[in-house]
Amino acid sequence: MERLQKIISRAGAASRREAERMILAGRVQLNGQVVTELGVQAEAGQDEIAIDGQVLQLAVPRLYFLLNKPQGYISAVKDDRGRKTVVELLPEVKEYIYPVGRLDYDTEGLLILTNDGEMMNGLLHPSYEIDKTYIAQAQGVVKQGQLQKLAEGILLEDGMTAPAQVKLLKQAKDNSSCLVQLTIHEGRNRQVRRMLQAVGHKVLKLRRVGFAGLDLQGVAPGSYRQLKPEEVAALKKFAGVQK
């Protein structure tokens, strides 16, 4: 609970002194009742505070997290099948946050969570072409020609994929599997798995290691960190958000 004048000034509607004068002048309402005393307290975010009948919009703090998602979590806030969700990996965060896009249940790696809907929409909009980098462990030997096809664009059941950056990182000595790095800017459902499947290779393991210039450095699987202000600013720029 806080004094009304403090909440009003924090919302940017007036200075604390001005807010006091407004209260004394009978211009402020708390849950529909005019308040004329200075000691009245309210709960920001729960009580409705109005000035001259205009309801105050209280700024909700914007939160931005980078999570290293492990396998076995669904990229959602709730799951009706009772599976564990990515938000359960941030138990200290009490605000309502949601993942920016989706990683499959079995995919690991970099996932942004936020309560900034405007930024989320920008980051997910195809026109902004945000780079996402994945490392896939693919079955067998992925040959040069197949890497080239993946890079140039390949036909999936929902159309051709856009050109991608593709690199063979490692081949297992016994040729049972290899590590392929792919950077794509589309975000179709199960895209990387389907791209590799289209050239005949099952994905055994998939991890996202990069998203819009961010990486997983210093963030162990299952843990998370808050984004730095400069990282948030860069993401907003990518997402076409002005402020």
Positions marked catalytic: 104
- Contact at 8 Å (CB) between 68 and 17? no
Among 130, 142, 206, 239, binds ligand URA (CB under 6 A): 206
We find the least distance from the C-beta atom of residue 192 to ligand URA, in angstroms, to be 4
- Contact at 8 Å (CB) between 213 and 239? no
Among 27, 69, 193, 236, binds ligand URA (CB under 6 A): 193
Residue 87-116 contact track with ligand URA, rule CB under 6 A, x = bound: ----------------xx--x---------
Choose the binding region for ligand URA from 85-93, 123-131, 158-166, 185-193 (rule: CB under 6 A): 185-193
The tokens for 24 are 């004394």
Choose the binding region for ligand URA from 5-13, 155-163, 188-196, 210-218 (rule: CB under 6 A): 188-196
We find the least distance from the C-beta atom of residue 128 to ligand URA, in angstroms, to be 17
- Contact at 8 Å (CB) between 74 and 91? no
We find the least distance from the C-beta atom of residue 134 to ligand URA, in angstroms, to be 6
Phi first, then psi, for residue 150 (nearest 5°) are -60, -40
Residue of this chain nearest to ligand URA (CB atom): 107
Phi first, then psi, for residue 213 (nearest 5°) are 85, -5
Which residue number, 6 or 187, has a Cβ lying nearer to ligand URA?
187
Among 19, 42, 135, 192, binds ligand URA (CB under 6 A): 192
Sites of contact with ligand URA (CB under 6 A) = 103-104, 107, 190-193, 206
